[in-house]
Amino acid sequence: MTKSELEYKINEVKLDYIRIQGDLEKLESFGRNTDIQQKKLDELEQELSHLNKELDATLQL
């Protein structure tokens, strides 16, 4: 991926993370199960870490 593609994907993942985090907070406030949302946040954190590493590698070229 190019630098701009990576940056776009990183921003996309960040927006998803924020949205799911808000959903999780709403569910918590109602005492609902948040396991699915928490798992998705963990997956997004891993993806974001991977994308940032790719971006760093791209910038070092």
pLDDT digits (tens, 9 = 90+) for 11-45: 999 999 999 999 999 999 999 999 999 999 999 99
> In what helix (H) or strand (E) does residue 60 lie, and over which residues does it extend?
helix 35-60
How many secondary structure helices (H) and strands (E) does the chain include? 2, 0
Q: What is the pTM of this model?
A: 0.90
Return the residue matching tokens 């928490």: 38
Question: Residue type at 7?
Answer: E
Q: Give the contacts of 3 (CB within 8 A, at least 6 positions apart).
A: 55, 58, 59
- Cα–Cα distance, 40 to 46 (Å, whole number): 10
